[in-house]
Copies of this chain bind each other. A is one copy, B any other.
Amino acid sequence: MVGSVGNGLLDLGGREKVEPLPKEFDPEEIVDSLLHSESNIVGKEEDGTSRKIVLGRNVHTMCLEVKEPEADDEITGEREAYMAGVLARYRRSLIDRTKHHLGYPYNLDFDYGALIHLQHFSINNLGDPFIESNYGVHSRQFEVGVLDWFARLWELEKNEYWGYITNCGTEGNLHGILVGREVFPNGILYASKESHYSVFKAARMYRMECVKVATLVSGEIDCTDFRAKLVQNKEKPAIININIGTTVKGAVDDLDLVIQTLEENGFKDRFYIHCDGALFGLMMPFIKRVCATLISNSTSSFHYKQALNHNHASASLKSQQWSFGQAPKVTFKKPIGSVSVSGHKFVGCPVPCGVQITRLAHINALSSNVEYLASRDATIMGSRNGHAPIFLWYTLNRKGYQGFQKEVQKCLRNAHYLKNRLKEAGIGSMLNELSSTVVFERPKDEDFIRQWQLACEGNIAHVVVMPNVTIEKLDYFLRELLEKRSHWYQEGTISPPCLAAEIGEANCLCFSHKN
Q: Contact residues of A with B, CB < 8 Å?
A: 1-3, 7-8, 11, 18-19, 21, 23, 39, 41, 43, 51, 53-69, 79, 83-84, 87, 90-91, 94, 97-98, 100-101, 103-104, 106-108, 110-112, 114-124, 126, 130-132, 134-137, 139-142, 144-146, 148-149, 158-159, 161-162, 167-171, 174, 178, 196-198, 200-201, 205-207, 247-248, 342, 344, 348-352, 360, 363-364, 367-377, 380-385, 387, 393-394, 396-403, 449-450, 453-458
Contacts and interface: CB of A to CB of B under 8 A. Distances in A.
A363 to B, nearest CB: 8
A394 B83 contact: yes
28 contacts: A2-B374, A3-B371, A3-B375, A8-B132, A11-B132, A23-B141, A53-B369, A58-B158, A59-B131, A60-B130, A66-B145, A66-B146, A79-B398, A84-B114, A91-B118, A94-B123, A100-B136, A103-B134, A104-B124, A112-B120, A122-B348, A134-B450, A167-B381, A170-B381, A196-B382, A197-B377, A201-B377, A205-B205
B41 A369 contact: yes
A2 to B, nearest CB: 4
Contacts of A380: 170, 174
A398 B450 contact: no
Number of copies: 2
B122 A119 contact: no
Nearest to A174: B380
Contacts of A79: 397-398
Given A69-B399, A247-B372, 20 more contacts: A3-B371, A7-B374, A8-B132, A55-B369, A58-B158, A58-B162, A58-B360, A59-B131, A84-B114, A94-B118, A103-B135, A107-B122, A108-B122, A167-B167, A167-B385, A168-B382, A174-B380, A198-B382, A201-B377, A342-B383
A351 B385 contact: yes
Nearest to A367: B55
A135 B376 contact: no
Contacts of A373: 197, 455
A39 B63 CA distance: 53
Which of A87, A363, A375 lies at the interface centre, i.e. has the most chain B CB atoms within 10 A of its CB? A87
Contacts of A19: 141
A167 B171 CA distance: 11
List the 10 closest A-B pairs by CB distance, nearest first. Answer: A170-B382, A352-B383, A97-B136, A168-B383, A2-B374, A62-B141, A63-B144, A64-B145, A66-B149, A58-B130
Contacts of A43: 369
Contacts of A149: 66
Nearest to A364: B55
A398 B454 CA distance: 36
Given A59-B130, A60-B130, A137-B108, A344 B383 contact: yes
Contacts of A57: 159, 360
A145 B22 CA distance: 11
A53 B374 CA distance: 8
A457 B311 CA distance: 61
Contacts of A126: 352
A162 B145 CA distance: 39
B248 A372 contact: yes
A244 B325 CA distance: 55
Nearest to A21: B141
Contact of A148 (B2, B66, B112, B456): B66
A458 B380 CA distance: 25
Given A54-B131, A122-B350, A145 B381 contact: no
A137 B63 contact: no
A83 B121 contact: no
A86 to B, nearest CB: 9
A193 B254 CA distance: 47
A383 B114 contact: no
Nearest to A117: B91
A114 B83 contact: yes
Contacts of A56: 360, 364
B381 A135 contact: no
A83 B395 CA distance: 11
A401 B196 CA distance: 41
Nearest to A173: B382
A354 to B, nearest CB: 9
B370 A197 contact: yes
A130 B397 CA distance: 38
Contacts of A100: 136
A98 B114 contact: no
Nearest to A104: B135
A159 B21 CA distance: 22
A445 to B, nearest CB: 13
A352 B348 CA distance: 20
Contacts of A59: 130-131
